Structure 1
Amino acid sequence: MTQDVLAQIVSGTHPDPDGGPPLKVATRSVRVARSLAGSEGDLVAPLGLGRCLAVVSDRTTHAVLGARVERALAGLGEVVSLVLPDARPHADGETVALIREATARCDALVAVGSGTINDLCKYASAQDRKPYVVFGTAPSMNGYTSVNAAITLHGHKKSLTAHAPLGAFMDLSIMAAAPVRMIRSGLGDSLCRPTAQADWLLAHLLFDQPYRIMPFALLAPDEKPMLEETEALVSGDIEAMERLVRTLLLSGFGTAIHGNSQPASQGEHLISHYADMLGDPAWPPSFHGEQIGVTTLSMARLQAAMLDGPPPTLLPDKNSEAGFVARFGEALGKSCWTEFAQKRLDGPRADALNQRIARRWPQIRTAIAAVTHPLPLLEKALACAGAPMKPQDVSWPEPFYRTALRHAREIRNRYTFLDLAADSGRLDGLAERI
């Protein structure tokens, strides 16, 4: 199974599509194989993690792989087993504190799991300035090799700076045997490449924000075939699984090389994060990537409507901190306002943007349309996998979802098509139709 691109990135020999020096990451070892059984110790030993290793898992991932990893690492030194008590742990400040306390005397962390376990270990180890490695158990998200962790602090879900794993190890037989919902979740998290790129390119063309083609060039060879073989993917096909796993790892590397999550997290993630923060905890739980599949379709529709419509005319924003506090509550409202105020359009900024749009809209529209996919391709990929496609498929009531579409842009300083639609007075109407 070819891993040339991954190996080149880890070795620092992959050329930069943007013309800079060869791409470089902090991760020193990546292994994607049909089976890793019996080789776990050999994979970890060269990384020199120390004599006391904390293996962190939850009850499910401990049974799937964690116990096996613990046995394999016993020959390297002392192994401290930390099995989080909740069946579905939360990536929040409280759980980070629990992990830091339980692993205080350990030299390094070994995460055994997928999104939540990886983010918790990534952030906890970064806070304690310890290395960590990860053994994946499901192809459910693209954050394995990123340098950011999605952690909820005081009710506000944030993408926090952490650090990359020194090693990322993916056993395809375990990945292919993961619950099908988690496989669909990984597909959903990968589906957002075109909407995230369109949003990021919009911010670049309107505000001259830094932008790179590198994260997307890494994904290009696998993306179209992956979207066309989603039925095989959820049927346990190992080659299809390898393509998805490689896509997830490369997406994480793209954000790590760039330095933040912009290449892989834009408007579609804001909608999902809004639902995580403000949805009813009593609703049946859904996986992150399942949500992203749904929100990506909404963003694709919104972006198409804005690009197909007349050049937008932007108006100064009328929001206020008091309004945010009334909408979100005291603590969360102030936290969101701090983020939102950085991108909020006042009169002079709106005037400057309108002048740029008047001069360049045809070029802006053409450039952004070129990086998107037709909506039917995205819909077919999810449909063939049996993945969620509508808000109700992930237990979001339609009225709540319409509210999320209107207000998700307010939780973060990241200018997307949600902002363009709102600032031009079109978001309320589009929220009712997309």
Structure 2
Amino acid sequence: MLDSLISGTLPDPDSEGMLSVPLKTIVIGRGLGDEADALVKPLPLGRKLAAVMDPDTRLALGERVSIALRGSSDVDKIILPRHPHPDMDAVRSVIARTQNASGLVAVGSGSINDITKYAAHLTQKPYAVFGTAPSMNGYTSVSAAITEDGLKKSLTASLPVGVFLDLDVMARAPHRLIAAGFGDSMARPTAQTDWLMAHLLIGTPYRQAPFMLLVEDEKALIAKAGDLRTGDLEAMEVLVRTLVMSGLGMTLCGGSYPASQGEHLIAHYIDMRGKGLPEAHHGEHIAVTTLTMARLQERVLALPELQLAPSADTPDRFIEIFGETLGRSCWAAFKPKLLDHERATAINTMLTEQWRSYRERLSRVARPAREIAAALRAAGAPTTPQEVAIPAAFYEEAVANARLIRDRFTMLDVAAASLETVAAGA
């Protein structure tokens, strides 16, 4: 399916045409670091390259990539601090240190990729990425998760001109990173359920295509979850391909909608407000928040009837929760999905007539929380806030307030507005 998508011969389930993505060079294989020069030479990166890495990814792959690239390019190694935070300060630092480069090469995973991607986007320079861990689905997406003015945002960025994922390197990654990638991949059911629900209730545009890309591998990935603990390359290839397809699904949709909904809002709130928490990987948080959303969705879909109350949210409440500057920013982001009396009445009229059919349709794309929990445990991913050192009271706060930080309408909004009490639980 990946080959068909790249070649433009995969039928689009949402139209009569074929699916097409602008990213044409994706290589999943072995020994790619030593082949870096041959892999990169055909790409429009120029011959003055900046290879961006941190101390850990330098050891994992960066040094080999840099040496190989010197076969036909002038390469400047940019070594960021260990565990760089993907914020605008880091992006500006990379921009300043790569002024003379014709193209950028990220060697890393989540943060390194996002920082390099957005720096390349702002400077209109091409970039490629050599992944070092199967920890997230952002290698092939058009978005970068960047914190700006204290608010975690999914910013539109430039696609890489090449993505190179070495299975041997991926399998040698710390298991926490592998489990994080598995956790990120398990967000498909909750993200699809949220997005489809928003489409049904408030008319948010929705596509089936990004989920069709994942159908072939999701069952196999869950079946092989335990094999990811042993470095099994077959299981690793399924995980890597799933993450690649998830990113391409976002690219097809021009945003993170098919892979980032309520579960990501909770995780973003934790990133924004969880000061002093021990370091955790994004996918570890997503594993936990996905399970929370799956349970919440099950409770909503079990309701025989659903009616929503008009929103009582006000700018003053946002300022009380987030402070003046961030509160006003969050209110501006939230306001488009505000349920005033007229909007709530229209939705309730529709729900009175259609809730049964909506429940059936939403249940078909969901996955039972117990199945998600079992798969996460098999892969060694966390399933509770305590496993990622998040205090119970703060996690409850994050679940309650996450809906306030963006305009994405999810089951968090439905639960908050429901005339029936729907508890999320951890």
State the match for 1:106 in structure 2.
101
**What is the aligned residue count?**
426
Matches for 1:270-349 after TM superposition, within 5 Å: 270-280=265-275, 282-349=276-343
State the match for 1:387 in structure 2.
381
Query: What percentage of residue pairs aligned between the two structures are identical?
Result: 50
Q: Could you tell which deviates more after superposition, 416-425 or 261-270?
A: 416-425
Deviations 1:65-112 (A, max 9, x none): 11111111112221111010x211000000000000110111111000
Instruction: Provide the secondary structure at the position in 2 that maps to 1:341.
Output: helix
Please state how far the C-alpha of 1:425 moved relative to its aligned partner.
4.5
Report whether the alignment pairs 1:18 with 2:18: no
The code of the aligned residue for 2:325 comes to A
Matching residue within 393, 398, 406 for 1:412: 406
Instruction: Give runs of ≥4 in structure 1 deviating > 4 Å.
Output: none
- Taking the aligned partners of 1:308 and 1:270, their CA distance within structure 2 comes to 23
Please state how far the C-alpha of 1:146 moved relative to its aligned partner.
0.1
State the match for 2:111 in structure 1.
116
Instruction: Provide the secondary structure at the position in 1 that maps to 2:220.
Output: helix
Please state how far the C-alpha of 1:426 moved relative to its aligned partner.
4.9
Contact 2:92 2:119 in 1 (8 A): yes
Give unmatched runs, 5+ long, in structure 1. Answer: none
The code of the aligned residue for 2:257 comes to Q
State the match for 2:78 in structure 1.
82
Report whether the alignment pairs 1:153 with 2:148: yes
- Taking the aligned partners of 1:326 and 1:207, their CA distance within structure 2 comes to 28
Contact 1:267 1:416 in 2 (8 A): yes
- Taking the aligned partners of 1:102 and 1:322, their CA distance within structure 2 comes to 42
TM-score by length of 2: 0.98
The code of the aligned residue for 1:119 comes to D
Contact 2:263 2:293 in 1 (8 A): yes
- Taking the aligned partners of 1:393 and 1:242, their CA distance within structure 2 comes to 27
Please state how far the C-alpha of 1:311 moved relative to its aligned partner.
1.9
State the match for 1:68 in structure 2.
64
TM-score by length of 1: 0.96
State the match for 1:41 in structure 2.
37
Instruction: Provide the secondary structure at the position in 2 that maps to 1:389.
Output: coil
Please state how far the C-alpha of 1:374 moved relative to its aligned partner.
1.6
The code of the aligned residue for 2:301 comes to L
Report whether the alignment pairs 1:178 with 2:177: no
Instruction: Provide the secondary structure at the position in 1 that maps to 2:22.
Output: coil
- Taking the aligned partners of 2:420 and 2:233, their CA distance within structure 1 comes to 44
Contact 2:44 2:161 in 1 (8 A): no
Matching residue within 202, 209, 212 for 2:207: 212
Contact 1:184 1:387 in 2 (8 A): yes
Contact 2:54 2:83 in 1 (8 A): yes
- Taking the aligned partners of 1:98 and 1:167, their CA distance within structure 2 comes to 23
State the match for 1:396 in structure 2.
390
CA RMSD of aligned residues (A): 1.1
Report whether the alignment pairs 1:430 with 2:426: no
Contact 1:36 1:171 in 2 (8 A): yes
